[in-house]
């Protein structure tokens, strides 16, 4: 299966009328060309996540989800995602049919543009592996991308963005998104500081 597929459609559960203005403001810095930022962010640079029982045990025991978080934790910004069994932020998995997404991230945020809850959902109607096996989507590869949405980097679709974690399409057997591109790193540093 070499068919590229959209990774996610970000859904905003709370409409914030000021978003358009924020987006205009952050489109000004030239640095934003290398990554795309929604202008919505976590207030704190420390966030927590738990894994729902719908997530296969092997996705944790293999280190796939941990390594995905670690990529962002080690990027040189102040931002951290830690595990906490009591977190309201959650990774889930389920069977949603062969839709146009294999995984997606969603957030709730307040009127000041600060995120107060986030979720990632994996679509198990597609085949998943933790080893980068061909014909399977790689959990760590996609989780790293989705955590990028969690901290509010957006999808990129230009051909010059291909080797970035935030490139918005993925293929089976693909693992390069596990490793952040310098522009992904520039993005997290821009949002959360160094």
User: Per-residue contact track with Zn ion, 142 to 161, x per CB under 5 A?
Assistant: -------------x------
Among 7, 151, 170, 191, binds Zn ion (CB under 5 A): 7
Using rule CB under 5 A, residue 8 touches Zn ion: yes
Stretch that binds Zn ion, among 8-16, 21-29, 42-50, 178-186 (CB under 5 A): 8-16
Residue 155 vs 183, nearer CB to Zn ion: 155
Binding residues for Zn ion, how many (CB under 5 A)?
4
As a whole number of angstroms, the distance between CA 108 and CA 13 comes to 6
Using rule CB under 5 A, residue 119 touches Zn ion: no
In the complex, which residue's CB is closest to Zn ion?
7
Stretch that binds Zn ion, among 2-10, 41-49, 81-89, 176-184 (CB under 5 A): 2-10
């Amino acid at each position: 299966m070499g068919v590229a597929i959209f990774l996610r459609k970000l859904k905003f559960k709370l409409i914030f009328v000021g978003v358009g203005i924020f987006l205009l403001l952050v489109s000004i810095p030239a640095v934003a060309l290398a990554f795309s930022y929604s202008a919505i962010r976590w207030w704190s640079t420390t966030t927590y996540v738990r894994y729902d029982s719908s997530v296969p045990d092997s996705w944790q025991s293999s280190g796939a989800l941990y390594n995905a978080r670690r990529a962002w934790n080690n990027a040189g910004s102040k931002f951290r995602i830690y595990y906490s069994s009591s977190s309201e932020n959650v990774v889930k998995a389920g069977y949603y049919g062969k839709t146009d997404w294999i995984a997606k991230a969603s957030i709730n945020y307040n009127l000041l543009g600060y995120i107060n809850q986030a979720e990632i959902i994996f679509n198990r109607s597609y085949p998943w592996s933790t080893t980068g096996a061909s014909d399977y989507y790689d959990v760590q590869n996609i989780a790293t991308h989705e955590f990028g949405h969690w901290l509010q980097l957006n999808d990129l679709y230009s051909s010059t963005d291909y080797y970035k974690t935030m490139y918005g399409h993925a293929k089976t057997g693909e693992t390069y998104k596990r490793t952040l591109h310098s522009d992904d790193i520039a993005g997290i540093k821009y949002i959360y500081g160094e």
